[in-house]
Amino acid sequence: MSSPNPIPVALLGVATAVPANVLTQDEAKGLARRLFGHRTSAFERLAPVFDNAGIAKRHIVRPVEWYEAEHGWKNRNAVYLEAAENLYVEAARKVLDLAGLAATDVDGLVTVSTTGIATPSLEARVAGRMGFRNDVERVPIFGLGCAGGVTGLAAAARLAAAAPGRTILYVTVELCSTSIRLDKLSKANIVATALFGDGAAAVLLRSGGEGAIMFEGAGEILWPDTLGIMGWDVEDPGLGVIFDRSIPPFVEDNMERAVAQILDRIGLAKGDMDRFTCHPGGAKVVAALEQSLHLSEGTLDHERGVLRDYGNMSAPTVLFVLERLLAAGMPERTMLLALGPGFTVSGLTLRRA
């Protein structure tokens, strides 16, 4: 199938940032055993998830001792605000430097984050440090979870396409580790300690000009009656993770049809894709994606590499994968995919100009 006319938006750069604290998977397993092992018999049954998660290490916003103490909403959110602002600035400055632009060149800001509450939103909080213009447009988005990496990028592309010459900075920051709680002995909370890491990613877009990578189109599929598959419970003393064990089989059963539906809306077909660039939510999810999309085992190599080195950072993770793909040499056309609360899948296609 021939390509439609692309959205006249070019990708100028992708950059990432992570906190300084590194936690190996062995250390994460030891931490979880100290937190939960003596209080629930479920821990030893779930312990193999640490060995089978495909994660070697991840970055977290606080030293490991912080996670061994009790924290309420106020303290958790204070940690979120401090770390999220710093990671926003680091990732944003990196991508601006990469593109040879200044903060004053930016016309619009799209920010995605779901792991804390920021009002005013993150881009407003860092505007002075960054040096953004006082007339910059701001679009903060909350509640997208892991799908936010792609959905937010699509929103930024649409904002850029509103007028020629617009430059849009998209930043997503997620601090999943701040949701680890001592009081919640759920299986999902224990599994989260095996998977979650923290990080940020920034993308710079410009409309109406030439670029090496161009946007084509985007779409989402929301499945009805699936609210309990993934998300957050808003509780005292913090967010409570919702992670259903049905996620990998659900992906395997439904992803191919959803991708076909999104591509059909864009005017493309699965055969037009040279590569799928996916959010690696976990080792089983990556395997389920390969199965559903009829990809050879091991095809999603950059996804496994990011999962190994950073864990699941929620929304930014798929952009860490895109960064690696661009460094390795992006094929003619790729489709970014991410799954998140809703339950939903978000897709976006890019092509080399």
Of 286, 287, 344, the closest CA to residue 147 belongs to 344
- The label of the residue with tokens 């601006």 reads 96
- The label of the residue with tokens 């005292």 reads 236
How many angstroms separate the CA atoms of 285 and 274, rounded? 20
CA 33, chain centre distance (Å): 27
> Can 278 be counted among the known catalytic residues?
no
Fill in the amino acid letter for 115: T
Task: Choose the catalytic residue: 146, 155, 204, 337.
Answer: 146
Of 69, 58, 51, the closest CA to residue 23 belongs to 58
**Sequence-separated (6 or more) residues with CB below 8 Å from residue 94:** 15, 16, 17, 202
Dihedral-angle region of residue 298 (phi above 0 means left; psi in -120 to 50 means alpha; beta otherwise): left
Residues forming the active site: 146
